[in-house]
Amino acid sequence: MTGNYLFKLIIAGSGGSGKTTLLRRYTTGLFSGSTKMTIGVDFSVTQCKTSKDQNVTLQIWDFGGENRFRSLLPSFCLGASGCLMLFDPLRPATFHELEEWVDIVQSNTKNIPILLLSSKHDLIDEGHPFSVANSDIEAFVEKHKLAGYIHVSSKTGLNVAQSFTKISELMIEKNAG
Protein backbone atom coordinates (compact mmCIF):
# COMPACT_ATOMS: atom_id res chain seq x y z
CA MET A 1 0.00 0.00 0.00
CA THR A 2 1.46 3.35 -0.96
CA GLY A 3 0.28 6.70 0.23
CA ASN A 4 1.28 10.28 0.62
CA TYR A 5 1.16 11.84 4.05
CA LEU A 6 1.98 15.21 5.59
CA PHE A 7 2.77 15.32 9.31
CA LYS A 8 3.98 17.86 11.82
CA LEU A 9 6.74 16.24 13.89
CA ILE A 10 8.20 17.84 16.97
CA ILE A 11 11.66 17.16 18.38
CA ALA A 12 11.92 17.92 22.08
CA GLY A 13 14.29 17.49 25.00
CA SER A 14 16.71 19.43 27.16
CA GLY A 15 19.34 21.75 25.77
CA GLY A 16 22.41 19.89 24.55
CA SER A 17 20.63 16.55 24.18
CA GLY A 18 21.39 16.39 20.45
CA LYS A 19 18.11 17.48 18.83
CA THR A 20 19.53 19.86 16.24
CA THR A 21 22.45 17.57 15.40
CA LEU A 22 20.04 14.67 14.87
CA LEU A 23 17.86 16.79 12.60
CA ARG A 24 20.85 17.96 10.56
CA ARG A 25 22.19 14.43 10.22
CA TYR A 26 18.81 13.22 8.99
CA THR A 27 18.11 16.06 6.57
CA THR A 28 21.64 16.54 5.17
CA GLY A 29 23.47 13.31 5.97
CA LEU A 30 26.19 15.39 7.61
CA PHE A 31 27.48 15.48 11.18
CA SER A 32 28.65 18.64 12.86
CA GLY A 33 30.03 18.26 16.36
CA SER A 34 29.32 21.91 17.09
CA THR A 35 25.93 23.50 16.72
CA LYS A 36 24.51 26.76 17.95
CA MET A 37 21.78 26.79 20.54
CA THR A 38 18.30 26.72 19.00
CA ILE A 39 16.53 29.96 19.87
CA GLY A 40 12.87 29.12 20.45
CA VAL A 41 12.01 26.79 17.56
CA ASP A 42 13.70 25.84 14.30
CA PHE A 43 11.74 24.45 11.35
CA SER A 44 12.62 22.01 8.55
CA VAL A 45 10.72 20.11 5.87
CA THR A 46 11.94 16.78 4.54
CA GLN A 47 10.73 13.57 2.94
CA CYS A 48 10.65 10.10 4.47
CA LYS A 49 9.82 6.78 2.86
CA THR A 50 8.48 4.09 5.18
CA SER A 51 9.25 0.38 5.06
CA LYS A 52 5.88 -0.07 3.29
CA ASP A 53 6.87 2.39 0.55
CA GLN A 54 4.66 5.16 1.89
CA ASN A 55 5.81 8.72 1.18
CA VAL A 56 5.74 11.07 4.14
CA THR A 57 6.44 14.79 4.16
CA LEU A 58 7.65 15.79 7.60
CA GLN A 59 7.32 19.35 8.86
CA ILE A 60 9.85 19.12 11.69
CA TRP A 61 9.78 21.56 14.58
CA ASP A 62 13.02 21.48 16.60
CA PHE A 63 12.31 22.92 20.06
CA GLY A 64 14.98 24.95 21.85
CA GLY A 65 15.82 23.10 25.05
CA GLU A 66 16.67 26.00 27.32
CA ASN A 67 14.27 26.83 30.19
CA ARG A 68 13.63 30.34 28.91
CA PHE A 69 11.94 28.97 25.75
CA ARG A 70 9.61 26.49 27.47
CA SER A 71 6.72 28.95 27.76
CA LEU A 72 6.57 29.08 23.94
CA LEU A 73 6.34 25.35 23.46
CA PRO A 74 2.69 24.56 24.26
CA SER A 75 1.47 26.61 21.30
CA PHE A 76 4.07 25.01 18.99
CA CYS A 77 2.73 21.56 19.93
CA LEU A 78 -0.67 22.29 18.40
CA GLY A 79 -1.34 20.18 15.33
CA ALA A 80 1.60 17.83 15.93
CA SER A 81 1.17 14.21 14.84
CA GLY A 82 4.26 12.78 16.54
CA CYS A 83 7.29 13.53 18.68
CA LEU A 84 10.90 12.44 18.93
CA MET A 85 11.97 13.01 22.54
CA LEU A 86 15.74 13.09 23.15
CA PHE A 87 18.04 12.79 26.12
CA ASP A 88 21.79 12.47 26.49
CA PRO A 89 22.54 9.28 28.47
CA LEU A 90 25.87 10.73 29.62
CA ARG A 91 24.08 13.68 31.22
CA PRO A 92 21.47 12.21 33.60
CA ALA A 93 19.88 15.62 34.16
CA THR A 94 18.57 15.50 30.55
CA PHE A 95 16.85 12.21 31.40
CA HIS A 96 15.33 13.54 34.63
CA GLU A 97 14.01 16.62 32.78
CA LEU A 98 12.06 14.35 30.41
CA GLU A 99 9.11 14.38 32.85
CA GLU A 100 8.55 18.07 32.08
CA TRP A 101 9.04 17.60 28.33
CA VAL A 102 6.61 14.70 28.12
CA ASP A 103 4.08 16.66 30.16
CA ILE A 104 4.35 19.66 27.79
CA VAL A 105 3.86 17.46 24.73
CA GLN A 106 1.11 15.23 26.14
CA SER A 107 -0.83 18.17 27.61
CA ASN A 108 -0.83 20.09 24.34
CA THR A 109 -1.43 17.34 21.77
CA LYS A 110 -4.03 14.67 21.10
CA ASN A 111 -2.39 11.45 22.29
CA ILE A 112 0.37 11.49 19.66
CA PRO A 113 3.07 8.81 19.48
CA ILE A 114 6.25 9.81 21.31
CA LEU A 115 9.43 7.90 20.49
CA LEU A 116 12.21 8.24 23.08
CA LEU A 117 15.75 8.55 21.70
CA SER A 118 18.95 8.12 23.68
CA SER A 119 21.46 10.23 21.75
CA LYS A 120 25.24 10.28 21.41
CA HIS A 121 25.58 6.51 21.51
CA ASP A 122 28.96 6.69 19.77
CA LEU A 123 30.38 8.07 23.04
CA ILE A 124 29.12 5.07 24.96
CA ASP A 125 30.76 2.76 22.44
CA GLU A 126 34.03 4.62 23.09
CA GLY A 127 33.96 3.45 26.70
CA HIS A 128 32.28 6.36 28.47
CA PRO A 129 30.17 5.25 31.42
CA PHE A 130 26.48 4.85 30.73
CA SER A 131 24.93 7.13 33.34
CA VAL A 132 21.24 6.25 32.89
CA ALA A 133 20.27 2.66 33.64
CA ASN A 134 18.31 0.75 30.99
CA SER A 135 15.82 -0.29 33.67
CA ASP A 136 15.10 3.40 34.44
CA ILE A 137 14.60 4.12 30.74
CA GLU A 138 12.26 1.15 30.29
CA ALA A 139 10.26 2.17 33.38
CA PHE A 140 9.95 5.72 32.03
CA VAL A 141 8.72 4.49 28.64
CA GLU A 142 6.13 2.27 30.31
CA LYS A 143 5.00 4.89 32.85
CA HIS A 144 4.35 7.50 30.16
CA LYS A 145 3.05 5.05 27.56
CA LEU A 146 5.67 6.10 25.00
CA ALA A 147 5.77 4.40 21.61
CA GLY A 148 9.25 2.96 22.15
CA TYR A 149 12.90 3.65 22.76
CA ILE A 150 15.87 3.72 20.36
CA HIS A 151 19.62 4.36 20.78
CA VAL A 152 20.93 6.84 18.18
CA SER A 153 24.19 8.48 17.18
CA SER A 154 24.20 11.51 14.92
CA LYS A 155 27.96 11.12 14.56
CA THR A 156 27.90 7.56 13.19
CA GLY A 157 24.34 7.66 11.83
CA LEU A 158 23.27 4.77 14.10
CA ASN A 159 19.46 4.49 13.90
CA VAL A 160 19.00 8.09 12.73
CA ALA A 161 17.00 7.30 9.57
CA GLN A 162 15.31 4.38 11.34
CA SER A 163 14.02 6.75 14.05
CA PHE A 164 12.36 9.03 11.53
CA THR A 165 10.97 6.03 9.62
CA LYS A 166 9.60 4.51 12.84
CA ILE A 167 7.90 7.72 13.99
CA SER A 168 6.47 8.21 10.47
CA GLU A 169 4.99 4.71 10.55
CA LEU A 170 3.56 5.33 14.02
CA MET A 171 1.94 8.57 12.85
CA ILE A 172 0.42 6.82 9.82
CA GLU A 173 -0.90 4.04 12.08
CA LYS A 174 -2.36 6.53 14.57
CA ASN A 175 -4.05 8.60 11.87
CA ALA A 176 -5.43 5.55 10.08
CA GLY A 177 -7.16 4.28 13.20
Quick one: three-class SS letters along the chain?
CCCEEEEEEEEECCCCCCHHHHHHHHHHCCCCCCCCCCCCEEEEEEEEECCCCCEEEEEEEEECCCHHHHHHHHHHHCCCCEEEEEECCCCHHHHHCHHHHHHHHHHCCCCCCEEEEECCHHHHHCCCCCCCCHHHHHHHHHHCCCCEEEECCCCCCCCHHHHHHHHHHHHHHHHHC
Instruction: Give the residue, 69 or 82, on which the prediction is more confident.
Output: 82
Mean pLDDT of 107-120: 95
pLDDT of residue 128: 64
In the chain, the number of structural domains is: 1
pLDDT of residue 68: 57
- Give the best-scoring range by mean pLDDT among 10-24, 66-80, 147-161: 147-161
Confidence of residue 83 (pLDDT cuts 50, 70, 90): very high
Confidence of residue 1 (pLDDT cuts 50, 70, 90): very low
Confidence of residue 28 (pLDDT cuts 50, 70, 90): confident
pLDDT of residue 67: 63
pLDDT over 60 (residue 8): yes
**Which residue range forms the structural domain that includes residue 97?**
4-176
Tell me the CATH number at 99: 3.40.50.300
